[in-house]
A and B are shown apart, each in its own frame.
Chain A
Amino acid sequence: MQPPAVHHGAMFDTDELVINMGPQHPSTHGVLRVVLRLDGEKVVNADVVIGYLHRGIEKLSENRNWTQIILLTDRMDYVAAATSNVGYCETVEKLLSLEVPRRARYVRTILCELQRIASHCLWIGTHAMDIGAMTVFLYAFRERELILDLFEEYCGARLTYNSMRIGGLPLEIPPGWDKKVLEFCKIMDSKIDEYETLLTHNRIWLERTKGVGVIGGPEAVALGMCGPALRGSGVPRDVRKDEPYAAYDEMEFDVPIGTAGDTYDRYLVRIEEFRQSLRIIRQATQGIPEGPIVGKVPRLIKPPAGETYHAIESPKGELGYFIVSDGKSTNPYRFRVRPPSFCNLQALPRLVRGHLVADVVALIGSIDIVLGEVDR
């Protein structure tokens, strides 16, 4: 019998440690699972496993009528439900070639931007929490609460709003609501400075975020990254500017972009987006035109046969809907969502390679994913 081979170097052999981060983990923002191969604490490779929250929204939508689907879109990006509603309704309006009243487009813009602030509040809270600064989390939730109150006053719901209809909006805005929105803008202005005091020039924050997860513009575009994660790499891509929808063509705002493409620049871009959103909200609220809130919508919605792709800028990035209508039935033939978080998450293995475990957490926070949207 052959004696077993003796490895003299066995003492110094090193193995990679495989660690399963998630699906139950405090910092994976839901049921994301990342299988990390570690060399010490350094990430050699990462495999992202998703699908734990897959509810088959695309399949379900193909079996619901056009109005019922609005409610399913709420359940995708549940921290920015109104934006998903807008995206879907506009796609169907495009298929129907339906004119949306200007007033409705203005209110949609306000709701979208409020939603962006709410979503960014959640992002800054959880992102800072992941890096260990827990006070920001509660501060941000305090302000998010104000936005949820505004939404509650508008449509009665606080999370899944179902707040849009094909052709406009279901409800006229309550009297005095616009005043409250402006009041909120005033409060929010000072609160953003408060977050910045805690983070922007904090030395530990700088050390934890600068140079972490650097990705260049062309590479980020090729990987399909979108939204603030892409703009942090210096690509001025914003659907609101490039392919305006709702009332964005009438608004004045800047698209902040970063230079280094690291976690810190993505952070700065989102902080600036807070301010730009407030600017848009102010313009839209002060300029809400008179008129009907909902357009001339046929009783039975049945778009002619055809297909279209329409994208909007959700707080996470380009949220696209590809819808095929067969022109015969009252439900879409094919309903496809292009979720921004899905594409950003795809870049995660590229971002984390060579960084430490602690950075994985920071990077998951910095690309701002919502698993409801990734898995649908």
Chain B
Amino acid sequence: MAEAPKVPEKKVAPPSGPPDPPPPADKAPPAFVATLQAALPGAVVATSYWVGDWTIIAEASRILDVATHLRDGSDAAFDMCSDVTATDWPPRAERFDVVYMLYSTRHRHRIRVKVKVGEHQPHASVSGIWPAANWFEREIYDMFGVNFTGHPDRRRILMPDDWQGFPQRKDYPLEGPGELLMENPLDWLRLKQARDQADIE
């Protein structure tokens, strides 16, 4: 029986970054963004608005200034760091977006701060400003390998301490050797060959 012709998988080029649409003309950014821009000229690269969320795209080197201002500024007062996470865009030179989700319990508003960070580029930790960021940054380090500096306790958090690689990166395979590779790479190779063999048959 003739083998069915293999349908070539449609390859979609990986996106090279988030769209970050600029705010529409009729939407004015919140007042504290203007204050921030005035206080720290050049620190805010752009602002973005999408489905009701405001995002500040900031200069990575000035994240500490921006964070301090956002926490202490009376019109911002972002006392709660709700989440810190990262996104991996491999084709881009500065491949990671580190995203800070901030919330103010006083004014009850939110903002997202985003910075672009390269693979080995040192990036200042905000855990001194919001202690909550401590574990979040540990997780980003664990999953993406973002090189945080000034972090009080930079260890892996979810993966084992001796894990190789950073699982959440886009070039890290979904299925893979995992622990088996660490224990005995040959076993894994044999297993993989057997599986490939089975696929061919």
Does chain A touch chain B in the assembled complex, meaning CB atoms less than 8 Å apart?
yes
Chain B residues with a Cβ closer than 8 Å to the other chain, count:
41
* 221-245 of chain A: CB within 8 A of chain B: 221-224, 235, 237, 242-243
B68 beta carbon closer than 8 Å to chain A:
no
Contact of B51 among A60, A306, A342 (CB under 8 A): A306
B79 beta carbon closer than 8 Å to chain A:
yes
**Are the C-beta atoms of A308 and B105 separated by less than 8 Å?**
no
Whole-angstrom distance from the CB of A369 to the nearest CB of chain B?
13
Interfacial chain A residues near B80, Cβ < 8 Å: 221-222, 224, 237
A contact residues, range = 35 or more
**Are the C-beta atoms of A59 and B21 separated by less than 8 Å?**
no
Interfacial chain A residues near B158, Cβ < 8 Å: 50-51, 54, 375-376
Select from chain B the residue with minimum beta-carbon distance to A93.
Answer: B51
Select from chain B the residue with minimum beta-carbon distance to A63.
Answer: B174
A138 beta carbon closer than 8 Å to chain B:
no
Interfacial chain A residues near B132, Cβ < 8 Å: 222-224, 343, 346
**Are the C-beta atoms of A221 and B105 separated by less than 8 Å?**
yes
In the assembled complex, the Cα of A242 lies from the Cα of B132 at a distance in Å of 20
In the assembled complex, the Cα of A237 lies from the Cα of B85 at a distance in Å of 22
Q: List the one stretch of A28-36, A105-113, A316-324 in contact with chain B.
A: A316-324
**Are the C-beta atoms of B167 and A56 separated by less than 8 Å?**
yes
**Are the C-beta atoms of B160 and A242 separated by less than 8 Å?**
no
The SS class assigned to the A binding surface is mixed
In the assembled complex, the Cα of A307 lies from the Cα of B99 at a distance in Å of 11
B112 beta carbon closer than 8 Å to chain A:
yes
Contact of A54 among B18, B79, B131, B159 (CB under 8 A): B159
In the assembled complex, the Cα of A54 lies from the Cα of B159 at a distance in Å of 8
A322-B101, A328-B12, A343-B132 known; A306 and B21 CB under 8 Å? yes
B35 beta carbon closer than 8 Å to chain A:
no
Interfacial chain B residues near A272, Cβ < 8 Å: none
Whole-angstrom distance from the CB of A328 to the nearest CB of chain B?
5
Whole-angstrom distance from the CB of B73 to the nearest CB of chain A?
16
A218 beta carbon closer than 8 Å to chain B:
yes
B157 beta carbon closer than 8 Å to chain A:
yes
Contact bitstring B146-186, A, C-beta under 8 A = 1, else 0: 00000000001111100000011000101000000000000
Interfacial chain B residues near A308, Cβ < 8 Å: 50-53
Whole-angstrom distance from the CB of B156 to the nearest CB of chain A?
8
**Are the C-beta atoms of A94 and B105 separated by less than 8 Å?**
no
A306-B19, A308-B50 known; A320 and B134 CB under 8 Å? no
In the assembled complex, the Cα of A30 lies from the Cα of B50 at a distance in Å of 39
**Are the C-beta atoms of B157 and A322 separated by less than 8 Å?**
no
Interfacial chain B residues near A346, Cβ < 8 Å: 132, 134-135
Contact of A309 among B18, B101, B160, B167 (CB under 8 A): B101
Interfacial chain A residues near B52, Cβ < 8 Å: 94, 308
Question: Nearest 9 CB-CB pairs, A to B?
Answer: A224-B132, A338-B83, A51-B158, A326-B15, A54-B158, A336-B85, A334-B87, A306-B50, A305-B19
- Known contacts A59-B172, A63-B174, A334-B85; 6 further A-B pairs (Cβ under 8 A): A51-B160, A59-B168, A224-B80, A224-B131, A322-B85, A328-B12
Query: B-contacting residues of A (Cβ < 8 Å)?
Result: 50-51, 54, 56, 58-60, 63, 94-95, 97, 218, 221-224, 235, 237, 242-243, 305-309, 311, 318, 320, 322, 324, 326-329, 333-334, 336, 338, 342-343, 346, 375-376
